[in-house]
């Protein structure tokens, strides 16, 4: 088994690499080689006994894409992306990485060989949907995104479906929920506050909440996100069917319910470290996001997420804080 991961230096990429190395197999086949691509060449994982090739460069450069797939990886996890807030502020950068980068990768696969058809797992987003929404959003709800990031994800979803239909690759797109709680420092994702209002207080730091407590989100942990990716890599194409893009399960809750879960896990003093300060751009972006999904297709295919936000908080404390936090 040879695996290519784009965006390998990102948070999900690093966690995926660690999970794959820990398992040693994917789809019941021993993992013999990893090709890891990011804008700067990722570090080689020390614990992996197989071969590792690291590639640094612009994924939208066709030459870089050709280098990445030169070894004909069996499975490609396409994680590389410019996040939502940054894609909204810098249209050219978002299009270049999110769309042009995906097209360069898919075209490199198409041009490689007539009998080469890898499984491509693409991380899409619930941002492909736009208001007004029904109470629960099914997979076949109209794709009318209200952000450039969402529009870029829609374009790649459609390209993935067409390249799969034409037999150029074997694709599946998984629309990730808001991934919380993200470890590390904040990034430029508009959804970053969903993580920061949990992460920073647990670290003894103040967090800024830029939206109202009534804002509702659809969440899954980084641990669940990695499980989605691995499960998607092993699904039979006949099970997936022609609609290759689907929404992942998650936990629907308001910001107030998130804070209540934090308070139950860590106490009033920790929850009091959240400061409210409105941000008009974040509020505008979030207002166009969906919040509750009917993920019956994903559930029927065996995808699983947490059952409550309390569980998501506990996953963060266990996975990132070794079970301890700053009270």
Give residue limits of the domains in the chain.
2-176+222-247
Q: For position 105, what pLDDT does the model report?
A: 98
Q: Regarding the domain delimited by 2-176+222-247, which CATH topology (the fold level of the hierarchy) does it fall under?
A: Rossmann fold (3.40.50)
User: Residues 77, 99, 129, 149: which is the catalytic one?
Assistant: 149
Single pTM value for the model: 0.95
- Kindly report, residue by residue over 21-64, the tens digit of the pLDDT: 999 999 999 999 999 999 999 999 988 999 999 999 999 999 99
Q: For position 287, what pLDDT does the model report?
A: 81
- Contact yes or no for 182/224 (Cβ under 8 A): no
Please give the Cα distance from 6 to 67 (Å, whole number). 12
Q: For position 163, what pLDDT does the model report?
A: 98
Please give the Cα distance from 244 to 169 (Å, whole number). 12
- Contact yes or no for 252/291 (Cβ under 8 A): yes
Cis status of the peptide bond prior to 132, with omega within 30 of 0? yes
Please give the Cα distance from 118 to 126 (Å, whole number). 25
- Kindly report, residue by residue over 209-255, the tens digit of the pLDDT: 999 999 999 999 999 999 999 999 999 999 999 999 999 999 999 99
Catalytic site includes residue 163: no
- Kindly report, residue by residue over 291-312, the tens digit of the pLDDT: 899 999 999 999 999 999 999 9
Where residue 270 falls among pLDDT bands split at 50, 70, 90? very high
Instruction: Kindly state the average pLDDT of the residues 145-165.
Output: 97
- Kindly report, residue by residue over 271-281, the tens digit of the pLDDT: 999 999 999 98
Q: For position 302, what pLDDT does the model report?
A: 98
């Amino acid at each position: 088994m040879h695996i290519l991961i784009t965006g390998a230096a990102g948070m999900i990429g690093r966690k995926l690499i660690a999970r794959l190395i820990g398992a040693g197999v994917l789809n019941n086949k021993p993992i013999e080689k990893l090709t890891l691509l990011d804008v700067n060449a990722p570090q080689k994982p020390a614990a992996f006994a197989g071969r590792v090739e690291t590639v640094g460069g612009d994924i939208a450069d066709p030459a870089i894409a050709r280098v990445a797939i030169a070894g004909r990886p069996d499975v490609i996890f396409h994680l590389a992306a410019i996040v939502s807030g940054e894609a909204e502020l810098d249209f050219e950068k978002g299009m270049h990485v999110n769309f042009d980068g995906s097209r360069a990768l898919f075209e490199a696969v198409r041009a490689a060989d007539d009998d080469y058809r890898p499984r491509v797992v693409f991380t899409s987003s619930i941002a492909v949907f736009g208001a007004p929404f029904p109470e629960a959003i099914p997979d076949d709800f109209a794709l009318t995104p209200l952000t450039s990031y969402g529009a870029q994800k829609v374009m790649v979803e459609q390209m993935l479906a067409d390249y799969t239909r034409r037999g150029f690759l074997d694709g599946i797109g998984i629309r990730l929920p808001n991934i919380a709680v993200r470890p590390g420092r904040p990034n430029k994702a508009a959804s970053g506050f969903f993580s920061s209002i949990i992460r920073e207080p647990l670290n003894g730091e103040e967090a800024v909440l830029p939206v109202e407590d009534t804002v509702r989100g659809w969440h899954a942990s980084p641990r669940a996100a990695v499980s989605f990716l691995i499960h998607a890599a092993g699904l039979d194409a006949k099970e997936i069917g022609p609609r290759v893009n689907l929404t992942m399960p998650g936990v629907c809750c308001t910001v107030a319910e998130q804070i209540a879960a934090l308070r139950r896990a860590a106490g009033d003093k920790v929850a009091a470290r959240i400061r409210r300060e409105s941000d008009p751009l974040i509020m505008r972006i979030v207002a166009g996001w969906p919040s509750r999904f009917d993920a019956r297709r994903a559930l029927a295919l065996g995808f699983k997420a947490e059952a409550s936000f309390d569980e998501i908080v506990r996953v963060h404390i266990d996975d990132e804080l070794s079970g301890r936090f700053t009270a």
